[in-house]
Chains A and B, each alone.
Chain A
């Protein structure tokens, strides 16, 4: 993920703030999404995801800061630029009294696609999203998952270069969620996607992940880099033959963090796991035990996300703590 802007970058956000009265929804977000990336914007409800997407699509003005999508300010998109942007809102906004194909055709028409090409595109996107068999069914009669796919179909029908999708898997079962994300991965081969989600596990399916918390991007990297970077080293899981005191292993050189989820299980972060392994085995032996197994630990993204948020909260408390005495002194 890059913060340095390139001319080809379709999404560029710099120092963007947005407040609603006294409530700050977006607090100084800066990020750049390169061409052909699948960026997952992850954060809990109320973290500012939809606000950011609405500003990127030009439906909401930022209080301050600079936004460029396809090189233009969203508040003054040219018509030709709008034709290159797709948007799938969070709520179902299509027409329940139109059939699946009529809904897609209507959206295609809004983007100026003529009748002949429209027929082909409607069929293509409905087949792509597995909705061709229900093309004549009224939208109100479709299942929740089908409706979400129908909305994605509407977002894709005009073949946009940049597609904004707001919480596509909210209320969708895990199997369908996976299929939708597979589709996003296929789409990102030829276009840029920004997808918001509350599901941290879906972060692993993105090329890049931006973690949004209290209106701020507190982490922005590839999923793997985030996993490795969050604890500042390699994570190792040790299972001992007999219960030991895990804190005693903190004396081993290169060990930065220790967590003991059970009497025989210790998870620790090492600067260099290879170098630390013999020393750890020796430290366990000193406690009259033995090492049953020692393996690299793959933390779930939920753990990574929690750690990122925890770190951000500590940092915020530290900054506020520093400000408070300064304020009192002033």
Chain B
């Protein structure tokens, strides 16, 4: 039997052995496949895609001449706020804010008329109590919008109360309505993207990338650690099998399995869930292959550095957690500071999320070409590292 035939025999043996072992544990495979799907389903059902209005308390000074009924203020904020209380007591309003019963505190100025008569601005105080940076940002934007709206209402009311229905500006004889004076610009917004995906559709490609990476890492991380802890590595050390043959066998076994699962997930996303797949399937297969290759390398590296199954699982979960935070899955990578961005670019899923979203929702071309090259490079580097580490593991113990 020639050397090449022997090599093929060994590689095939490792591949078949891995697949057989996997087939004997259908429950483990099912949970690996269904677990993430349940997460996607819960995400789709539980996330409405609209921001809940801020519950607001408004401090209305007693002697300032403002209306005191809550209905008057219900119109404020154009849906961004929900007025839950009107109070003249600022301390009472702060108590509500601290306790979380209100998320916004709006204090109307008690010297509005006096300041306007003196040609000065009065202050509309808006306070919030948010730790979450995303929510704090939304509160800030809501406050800005609120001031603009109140200003517009005040100007319109003031002009109308003065009996001024129109104002002469520019060319003689042109009458400009008070509302136009108050809001000289009209916002006209437009989204130029080829599609306006729903939140579920927008996140589905990212979840697919995350699931594939996690699946590949978990399967391989446990596979090699089992060989090491069971003592099978001694058998390999004595036999003529080489580390590279063992590694290629494992890559093939788990690669085939991950690709099958990827096909199943893509079919599930595109058919029953109606997630768009604008790009062509061949390109998607290429991306899945690249992501799988890189992720298997990461999983195998974990399995070679971890000293127990528990540690391997923990490391795999750590990668999942890092992927959730830093891959652009939830927050844009640009929003991270420079050193943290390197963590993002070290994760295969970072490229997977961007490439999958671009291909499935836009049809491709919106992500730099080097993203694919970087994904391939990560895969190659991890393969070399894993092969080197395995070779060292299979050497005799000093």
Kindly state whether residue A82 has any CB partner on chain B within 8 Å: yes
Kindly state whether residue B236 has any CB partner on chain A within 8 Å: yes
Stretch in contact with the other chain, from B17-25, B72-80, B351-359, B363-371: B17-25
Kindly list chain A residues whose C-beta atoms are within 8 Å of the C-beta of B13.
Answer: 105-106, 109-110
Kindly list chain A residues whose C-beta atoms are within 8 Å of the C-beta of B234.
Answer: 54, 57, 59, 87, 89, 93
Which residues 64-110 of A have a CB within 8 angstroms of B?
Answer: 74-75, 79-80, 82-83, 85, 87, 89, 91, 93-95, 97-98, 102, 105-107, 109-110
Kindly state whether residue B196 has any CB partner on chain A within 8 Å: no
Question: In the complex, what distance in Å separates the CA atom of A83 from the CA atom of B242?
Answer: 13
Residue of A nearest to B235 (CB): A93
Question: In the complex, what distance in Å separates the CA atom of A20 from the CA atom of B76?
Answer: 78
A78 vs chain B, min Cβ distance (A): 9
Known A97-B20, A110-B239; 20 more pairs at CB < 8 Å: A57-B237, A59-B234, A59-B238, A60-B396, A61-B398, A89-B234, A89-B235, A91-B230, A93-B234, A95-B17, A97-B24, A106-B13, A109-B9, A109-B10, A109-B13, A110-B240, A112-B1, A112-B6, A113-B9, A114-B5
Residue of B nearest to A59 (CB): B237
**With A89-B234, A107-B235, A111-B239 as contacts: A102 and B17 at CB distance below 8 Å:** yes
24 contacts between A and B (CB under 8 A): A54-B397, A57-B237, A58-B396, A59-B238, A60-B396, A61-B398, A85-B238, A89-B231, A89-B235, A91-B230, A91-B231, A93-B232, A95-B17, A95-B232, A97-B20, A97-B21, A97-B24, A98-B20, A106-B17, A110-B235, A110-B239, A110-B240, A111-B240, A112-B240
Q: Is the CB of A110 within 8 A of B241?
A: yes
Kindly list chain B residues whose C-beta atoms are within 8 Å of the C-beta of A172.
Answer: none
Kindly state whether residue B87 has any CB partner on chain A within 8 Å: no
Contact partner, B237, options A58, A98, A106, Cβ 8 Å: A58
Q: Is the CB of A82 within 8 A of B239?
A: yes
Q: Is the CB of A61 within 8 A of B397?
A: yes
B234 vs chain A, min Cβ distance (A): 5
Kindly list chain A residues whose C-beta atoms are within 8 Å of the C-beta of B308.
Answer: none
Interface membership of chain B positions 384-398, coded 1 if the CB is closer than 8 angstroms to chain A and 0 otherwise? 000000000000111
Question: In the complex, what distance in Å separates the CA atom of A94 from the CA atom of B235?
Answer: 9
**With A110-B10, A113-B9 as contacts: A82 and B20 at CB distance below 8 Å:** no
Residues on B lying within 8 angstroms of A by beta carbon are 1, 5-6, 9-10, 12-13, 16-17, 20-21, 24-25, 230-232, 234-241, 396-398
Chain A to chain B: the 8 pairs with minimum beta-carbon distance, closest first:
A109-B13, A112-B6, A97-B24, A93-B231, A82-B240, A87-B238, A79-B240, A110-B239
Residue of B nearest to A88 (CB): B235
A139 vs chain B, min Cβ distance (A): 11
Question: In the complex, what distance in Å separates the CA atom of A107 from the CA atom of B240?
Answer: 10
**With A82-B238, A102-B17 as contacts: A60 and B397 at CB distance below 8 Å:** yes
Residue of B nearest to A138 (CB): B24
A1 vs chain B, min Cβ distance (A): 25
Residues on A lying within 8 angstroms of B by beta carbon are 54, 57-61, 74-75, 79-80, 82-83, 85, 87, 89, 91, 93-95, 97-98, 102, 105-107, 109-115, 138
B87 vs chain A, min Cβ distance (A): 69
* Residue from the set A61, A74, A106 with the largest chain B CB neighbour count within 10 Å: A106
**With A58-B396, A110-B10, A112-B10 as contacts: A93 and B241 at CB distance below 8 Å:** no
Kindly list chain B residues whose C-beta atoms are within 8 Å of the C-beta of A95.
Answer: 17, 21, 232
* Residue from the set B20, B235, B238, B398 with the largest chain A CB neighbour count within 10 Å: B238
Kindly list chain B residues whose C-beta atoms are within 8 Å of the C-beta of A112.
Answer: 1, 5-6, 9-10, 240
Residue of A nearest to B237 (CB): A59
Question: In the complex, what distance in Å separates the CA atom of A129 from the CA atom of B234?
Answer: 23
Kindly list chain A residues whose C-beta atoms are within 8 Å of the C-beta of B17.
Answer: 95, 98, 102, 106
Kindly list chain B residues whose C-beta atoms are within 8 Å of the C-beta of A61.
Answer: 396-398
Chain B contact surface mostly: helix
Contact partner, A109, options B12, B231, B237, B238, Cβ 8 Å: B12
Kindly list chain B residues whose C-beta atoms are within 8 Å of the C-beta of A82.
Answer: 238-240
Kindly list chain A residues whose C-beta atoms are within 8 Å of the C-beta of B235.
Answer: 87, 89, 93, 107, 110
Residue of A nearest to B236 (CB): A110
* Residue from the set B6, B235, B236, B237 with the largest chain A CB neighbour count within 10 Å: B235
Question: In the complex, what distance in Å separates the CA atom of A311 from the CA atom of B397?
Answer: 34
Residue of A nearest to B231 (CB): A93
Q: Is the CB of A75 within 8 A of B396?
A: yes
Kindly list chain B residues whose C-beta atoms are within 8 Å of the C-beta of A75.
Answer: 396
Question: In the complex, what distance in Å separates the CA atom of A79 from the CA atom of B230?
Answer: 24
Residue of A nearest to B394 (CB): A59
Question: In the complex, what distance in Å separates the CA atom of A74 from the CA atom of B241?
Answer: 15
Question: In the complex, what distance in Å separates the CA atom of A110 from the CA atom of B233?
Answer: 12
Kindly list chain B residues whose C-beta atoms are within 8 Å of the C-beta of A60.
Answer: 396-397
Kindly list chain A residues whose C-beta atoms are within 8 Å of the C-beta of B398.
Answer: 61
Q: Is the CB of B396 within 8 A of A74?
A: yes
Kindly list chain A residues whose C-beta atoms are within 8 Å of the C-beta of B232.
Answer: 93-95
B248 vs chain A, min Cβ distance (A): 14
Q: Is the CB of B21 within 8 A of A98?
A: yes
Kindly list chain B residues whose C-beta atoms are within 8 Å of the C-beta of A91.
Answer: 230-231
B149 vs chain A, min Cβ distance (A): 67
Q: Is the CB of A57 within 8 A of B397?
A: no
B132 vs chain A, min Cβ distance (A): 46
Kindly list chain A residues whose C-beta atoms are within 8 Å of the C-beta of B6.
Answer: 112
Kindly list chain A residues whose C-beta atoms are within 8 Å of the C-beta of B230.
Answer: 91, 93
Question: In the complex, what distance in Å separates the CA atom of A93 from the CA atom of B236?
Answer: 11
Q: Is the CB of A114 within 8 A of B9?
A: yes
Residue of B nearest to A95 (CB): B21
* Residue from the set B6, B10, B239, B398 with the largest chain A CB neighbour count within 10 Å: B239
A296 vs chain B, min Cβ distance (A): 45
B9 vs chain A, min Cβ distance (A): 5
Question: In the complex, what distance in Å separates the CA atom of A318 from the CA atom of B49?
Answer: 87
Kindly list chain B residues whose C-beta atoms are within 8 Å of the C-beta of A87.
Answer: 234-235, 238
Residue of A nearest to B1 (CB): A114
Q: Is the CB of B397 within 8 A of A107?
A: no
Question: In the complex, what distance in Å separates the CA atom of A114 from the CA atom of B13?
Answer: 10
B247 vs chain A, min Cβ distance (A): 14
B86 vs chain A, min Cβ distance (A): 69
Kindly list chain A residues whose C-beta atoms are within 8 Å of the C-beta of B25.
Answer: 97
A295 vs chain B, min Cβ distance (A): 48
Question: In the complex, what distance in Å separates the CA atom of A56 from the CA atom of B240?
Answer: 15
Kindly list chain A residues whose C-beta atoms are within 8 Å of the C-beta of B397.
Answer: 54, 59-61
Question: In the complex, what distance in Å separates the CA atom of A83 from the CA atom of B327?
Answer: 47
Kindly list chain B residues whose C-beta atoms are within 8 Å of the C-beta of A138.
Answer: 24
Question: In the complex, what distance in Å separates the CA atom of A102 from the CA atom of B24?
Answer: 13
